[in-house]
Amino acid sequence: MNNVITTNIVRFIVLVLAQTLVLNNINFLGYINPYIYILFVILFPIKNNRMLFIFLSFLLGLCIDLFLDSGGVHAAACVTIAYIRPLILKFSFGMIYEHQTIKFSSTEFGQRLTYFAIITFIHHLLLFSLEIFNTSKILLILKKSLFSGIFTILLCLLITVLFSQKRK
Amino acid sequence: MQQIINFLIRNKTFLLFLLLFCVSLFFTFQSHSYHKSKFINSANFLSGGVYESVNGIGQYFNLREENQQLLEENNRLKSLLFNEEDTFNGLSTLDSTFTNRFDLTPAQVSKNSYSATNNYLTINKGERDSIRQDFGVITSNGIVGIIDNTSNKYARVLSILNTNSRVNAQLKNTNHFGTLKWDGVSPKVIQLTDIQGLAKVTIGDTVTTSGNSTIFPKNILVGEVISFKLNETEDVYNINVKLFNDMTNIGHVYVIKNRDAKEISILNNPDE
């Protein structure tokens, strides 16, 4: 149990620093940045205290906002995906989730991709709509969410593959 | 009463979510209005400190370009100095109250962003270097933005690449003035609006600050006109201006303090 807490604390700090110091300076094609800090929300243990989980996600978003001067957009997006995560889990993993025994490294690739993609696109849509906050620029919002979303999903999958614990 | 408490306990997760969501929305809306984002900004001890220490490393990669820029600026200033006797006949030194109206403080940018719609910069000078809200920030090539929040050691700059930013500017050769805004599309192009339809605008015209506000002195470079058109009612121009400054690559900046700002603002708003 202690191990899980330490892992998540380290993950929190590393993701915030990586996001703000490295990934936000990529600006691929001028505006595409991956937002991989949502890996914290994606990979948070499934057996959890939901209140704590939602609060931690809020804190994560607020930390990112603090560094990026974006008001509260990241916090809002993070809290939302944390709140609706059980729904998405049930949708993408089906029955296995009910038994609360899944490990992300042992699930099928297709299911994992659906799960990552749904969370990422909901997060990005909310993030960019709040950031741009202008209905006349809805195309810009969709364009940004789509391209940044693809970038984020790719990076998230790569990172989870690279850092997954080796099983015997 | 029992039922209310039961309801609260049953829906505690949803209520917590709602509360936190509203808090973040509150921060978001606050950040949309100038001067109000007091709590969440990168000019604080933590993020300012982290950015500065990381920037200490990143700075080395741009040394060559920075040197080149400083050299060019030195060159320009030297040529001004050597030619001064011919052009000004020493007149500029006569009026000492005028020449000392503006104080400049050099600073280093520790965080820059240009891909969002509301961009801010963080610089490594703050209140202890007597930097306050509403001071202008420029580089040797042109304007950068306006100080909007300060902490003891750091300050946050509202970039001109921010949809909330409004800066007074004019066409250099006609003195018609208007407002600089940004539409959030390209970090190289900003929009100059409210220029009178009577004005003669040509492509390639230089746009400078107008000196009508207390923030920037007159004749700070902004950019050049690349395209323009009249609005629907044909009374004012909307002009696209290509910035002289490369906002994606900013190292050294100068913060301008207008010593007379207080006096001018009291004169304009005698009630306050």
Structural domain spans, chain B: 40-272
The confidence score (pLDDT) of residue B90 equals 46
The domain B40-272: what is its CATH number?
A: 2.40.10.350
Whether the per-residue pLDDT at A149 is higher than 90: the answer is: yes
Average pLDDT of chain A is 85
Work out the minimum CA distance from B107 to partner chain A, whole angstroms: 19
Subunit contact A132:B113, Cβ cutoff 8 A: no
The confidence score (pLDDT) of residue A164 equals 74
Whether the per-residue pLDDT at A76 is higher than 90: the answer is: yes
Interface mutation vs chain B, best among A69, A80, A144, most B CBs within 10 Å: A69
Q: E strand or H helix at B256, and its extent?
A: strand B252-258
Work out the minimum CA distance from B193 to partner chain A, whole angstroms: 19
Q: Which of A58-72, A80-94, B38-52 has the lowest average pLDDT? A: B38-52
Subunit contact B16:A61, Cβ cutoff 8 A: no
The confidence score (pLDDT) of residue A168 equals 41
For range B248-268, the mean pLDDT: 85
The confidence score (pLDDT) of residue A57 equals 92
Average pLDDT of chain B is 83
Q: Please measure the distance between the N-terminal and C-terminal CA atoms of chain B and give it in whole angstroms.
A: 50
Span B14-70, pLDDT tens digits? 899 999 999 988 888 887 776 665 666 777 778 888 888 888 887 788 788 888 888
Q: State the count of interchain CB pairs (< 8 A) between A and B.
A: 112
Whether the per-residue pLDDT at B154 is higher than 70: the answer is: yes
Subunit contact B184:A132, Cβ cutoff 8 A: yes
Please calculate the CA angle B17-A72-A160 and round it to the nearest 5 degrees: 75
pTM for the whole structure: 0.81
Spell out a b/e string for A35-70, using b for 16 or more CB atoms within 10 Å of the CB, else e. bbbbbbbbbbebeeebeebbbbbbbbbbbbbbbbbb
Subunit contact B24:A62, Cβ cutoff 8 A: yes
The burial of B186, by beta-carbon neighbours within 10 Å (0-12 exposed, 13-18 middle, 19 or more buried), is given as middle
DSSP state of A28: B
Subunit contact A72:B184, Cβ cutoff 8 A: no
Span A105-140, pLDDT tens digits? 677 788 888 889 999 999 999 999 988 888 888 888
